[in-house]
Structure 1
Amino acid sequence: MAPETPENAASAQGTLEEALLELRNGIDAVDGQILTLLNKRAGLSLEVGRRKAGRQSAVFKPFREQEVMERLAAKNPGPLPVPHLLAIYREILSSSRRLQRPERVAYLGPEGTFSHFAAMAALGHSPDFLPQTTIGDVFEAVADRRADLGVVPLENSLQGTVGQSLDHFQRHEVFIQAEISCRVSHALLSTAGDIERIETVYSHPQPLAQCAAWLKTHLPGARIIPTDSTAAAALRLAGEPTAASIGHVRLAAMHGLNILASPIEDMPDNWTRFFIIGPEDTKQQTRDKTSVLFTVPNKPGSLYQVLSHLAGEGINLTKLESRPIRGEKWQYVFFADLQCDLTREEYKKLLATLREQTLSLRILGCYPVGRQVNLADGDMEQTGD
């Protein structure tokens, strides 16, 4: 073996630089091809928009986007990981919708809430995002067509249903377009540098409940104060050196806060399911799930009859919850998720029977089974379908 000399080292370094230069030139050439194809795709999207000009059909087509994602994932030979591929295409599809027509998306704000991150995970970064003060405001913005879409939390795997969302489905004529399930994680944020200084903790009621055991153990004497959102809680910390908030870790960089502890949720497998709502039904050919609201006569067996008809058709009921009807004491409306498209022709007779057996029956939407996305560390990585 030849001894190492300055000349040998320089020669090896020169060979390495030449090889790297060749690889970088190859990457530049591929980038040029990608750029050409992206603009070709953008041109096709613009043409779709021109042909649909004047029509009121929705730009967001969840089943079409799901088909694109599934086809690409199935055909991907690697080494590009599928989650990376899908994250790239989420933004390509987002840009394509924007080229056809700008989208206004309402969510529970301010910027930095889990609803905000879920909205971007579902729809990309191209829409015009409209932060709202309350969940009710999101519903109103969509119902009044001040927003094309809205993103609202429905339920958490640890704490159950977000009752406000179910209640607002009773009050507003909106439809479910799609769903997305997001894994969330919470951090304790503060302007303080030491957890020992914390006397007050702010957050939305859901994260407070999801972190209740941690708070009891680590901050047993702290005042717990609910807020409208996790981002609103973070904004309250200015000028309060003995206060902390619970929210996404990315709020720390957004508001100049310290991360005193993370993760702090009581159970690590913490998921929140969000609905994407719109002012009209999606009217697509193939749909996986149906959500309904219904009321039944106040007599023995009335709910059983509805459920037995569903079971008789082999329809799986994945969620059933009752909520009080506003203004009517001891009267309840039922929310249900069904694993079928209840509007299909094969269920026409069943649907007629259900309408006969109920006092009211409203189909909230038929939509695809939602993607699962990891929001825990802010990377919005898709974990599966």
Structure 2
Amino acid sequence: MAVSIAHLGPAGTNAEAAALLYTHWLEQTTGESALLCPYPSIAQSLRAASQGQTNLAVVPVENSVEGSVTATMDALWQLDKLQIQRALTLPISHALMSWASTIDTLKTIYSHPQALGQCQTWLERFLPAAQLIPTNSTTEALQHLADNPTVGAIASERAARLYNLPILACPINDHPDNCTRFWVLSLQPSPGGNHTSLAFSVRDMPGALVKPLQVFADRGINMSRIESRPTKRLLGSASKQELGDYLFFIDLQADTQQPSIQSALDELAHCTEILKVFGSYDVLPIKHQAIADV
């Protein structure tokens, strides 16, 4: 029976490309086949895996230019039963597509917010007056093209091939080494590995963050990433959100199976309000030829 994998759709997104790469790795290492299941949003992709509608979800976590994908972070905090199975990093190249003959006629550009951000400098240089409109995915942006020569969309070259769309410029991302890290998640226990991801909230008091971070410093555990996100919970009798109420996501270069990490997590649980460990995992080696074949 094929392994079902949820991802941000429709077909042609970078999330689908990452899911395809993971599928190839799965077939080569275990012999299992996979069925890709596109969803309209990252949150819905994660929810499908958390509710058992699919076996896995492949979602973007962090881009080298635009930073963390907040939709993934926020949804994962809510759907805390999911565990990270693997990670993979995908080089990202963006193309500008349109039925226009030249970019001079373009007045509106559609794409996912991450793609718009990764092409910000190029857009400011060549299309400074264009209106930028965010969409749920880069592929969803393509439906706005129709035959309108004033509209453009930013997506992958692969998407252009899939939908037989003309490319006006490529690559247009601001940095040549643009890449995005993806996580593969499921309800299965994490397999262990050299990387661990977790999140916690702390009580709003002086030194509240210092104590959790000191837990790792005392044991010589290296943190490769730390980021704060609003908790989005309602506070006080007025039922309002307040600035300063945050949770923290942390990546460690360590495995929870190590005694020092287990000790750190035990201590961390006592100096945080809520602690969620998303598992330990390895990063899959992705060959450039495999990327070209997707």
> TM-score surpassing 0.5?
yes
Q: Tell me the alpha carbon deviations over residues 23-51 of structure 1, each in whole angstroms, 9 at most, x when there is no partner.
A: xxxxxxxxxxxxxxxxxxxxxxxxxxxxx
Q: Counterpart of 1:151 in structure 2: which amino acid?
A: V
Report the CA distance between 1:198 and its aligned residue: 1.7
Q: Tell me the alpha carbon deviations over residues 185-233 of structure 1, each in whole angstroms, 9 at most, x when there is no partner.
A: 1111112232222221110011101111111111122121111111111
Matched, 1:238 2:146: yes
CA distance in 2, matches of 1:351, 1:200: 49
Aligned to 2:54, the other structure's residue is in SS state coil
- Judged with a 3 Å threshold, the aligned counterparts in structure 2 of structure 1 residues 378 and 199 are, in CA distance, closer, same or farther, namely farther
* Residue aligning to 1:379: 292
Q: Counterpart of 2:42 in structure 1: which amino acid?
A: I
* Residue aligning to 1:337: 251
CA distance in 1, matches of 2:262, 2:123: 51
Q: Is the 8 A contact 2:256 2:279 kept in 1?
A: no
More strand by share: 2
Report the CA distance between 1:148 and its aligned residue: 0.5
Matched, 1:103 2:7: no
CA distance in 1, matches of 2:227, 2:292: 32
Q: Tell me the alpha carbon deviations over residues 325-364 of structure 1, each in whole angstroms, 9 at most, x when there is no partner.
A: 1223332111000111124344333222111111111111
Q: Is the 8 A contact 1:154 1:166 kept in 2?
A: yes
CA distance in 2, matches of 1:145, 1:176: 15
* Residue aligning to 1:17: none
* Residue aligning to 1:35: none
Matched, 1:300 2:209: no
Matched, 1:313 2:219: yes
* Match among 170, 181, 188 for residue 77 of structure 2: 170
Matched, 1:140 2:53: no
Q: Is the 8 A contact 1:155 1:162 kept in 2?
A: yes
Report the CA distance between 1:142 and its aligned residue: 0.4
User: Can you give the 5+ residue segments of structure 1 that lack an aligned partner in the other structure?
Assistant: 1-100
CA distance in 2, matches of 1:299, 1:143: 33
Q: Is the 8 A contact 1:184 1:374 kept in 2?
A: no
- Answer with 230-239 or 207-216: which moved more: 230-239
Report the CA distance between 1:373 and its aligned residue: 5.3
Q: Is the 8 A contact 1:210 1:266 kept in 2?
A: yes
Counting aligned pairs with the same residue, the percent is: 36
* Residue aligning to 1:112: 12
* Residue aligning to 2:124: 216
* Residue aligning to 2:237: none
Q: Tell me the alpha carbon deviations over residues 154-180 of structure 1, each in whole angstroms, 9 at most, x when there is no partner.
A: 111111111111000111121111111
More helix by share: 1
- Judged with a 3 Å threshold, the aligned counterparts in structure 2 of structure 1 residues 332 and 373 are, in CA distance, closer, same or farther, namely farther
CA distance in 2, matches of 1:306, 1:342: 16
Q: Counterpart of 1:289 in structure 2: which amino acid?
A: H
CA distance in 2, matches of 1:144, 1:357: 31
Report the CA distance between 1:240 and its aligned residue: 2.1
CA distance in 2, matches of 1:279, 1:303: 29
Aligned to 2:209, the other structure's residue is in SS state helix
Aligned to 1:217, the other structure's residue is in SS state helix
Q: Is the 8 A contact 2:42 2:71 kept in 1?
A: yes
Could you say which structure has the larger radius of gyration?
1
Q: Is the 8 A contact 1:191 1:256 kept in 2?
A: no
Matched, 1:196 2:196: no
Report the CA distance between 1:302 and its aligned residue: 2.1
Matched, 1:226 2:140: no
Q: Counterpart of 2:225 in structure 1: which amino acid?
A: K
Report the CA distance between 1:246 and its aligned residue: 0.5
Q: Is the 8 A contact 1:181 1:373 kept in 2?
A: no
Report the CA distance between 1:102 and its aligned residue: 1.0
- Judged with a 3 Å threshold, the aligned counterparts in structure 2 of structure 1 residues 191 and 293 are, in CA distance, closer, same or farther, namely same
Q: Is the 8 A contact 2:200 2:274 kept in 1?
A: yes
Q: How does 1:62-73 map to 2 (within 5 A)?
A: none
Q: Structure 2 length as normaliser, TM-score?
A: 0.89
* Residue aligning to 1:348: 262
Q: Is the 8 A contact 1:189 1:259 kept in 2?
A: yes
Q: Structure 1 length as normaliser, TM-score?
A: 0.69
* Match among 159, 163, 183 for residue 255 of structure 1: 163
CA distance in 2, matches of 1:361, 1:187: 40
Q: Counterpart of 2:222 in structure 1: which amino acid?
A: N
Runs of 4+ in 1 over 6 A off after TM superposition: none
CA distance in 2, matches of 1:325, 1:259: 41
* Match among 352, 368, 376 for residue 282 of structure 2: 368
- Answer with 195-204 or 344-353: which moved more: 344-353
Aligned length in residues: 278
Q: Which has the higher contact order (CA 8 A, sep 6+)?
A: 2
Report the CA distance between 1:378 and its aligned residue: 5.4
Report the CA distance between 1:123 and its aligned residue: 2.0
Q: Counterpart of 1:166 in structure 2: which amino acid?
A: M
Q: Counterpart of 1:121 in structure 2: which amino acid?
A: L
CA distance in 2, matches of 1:346, 1:225: 47
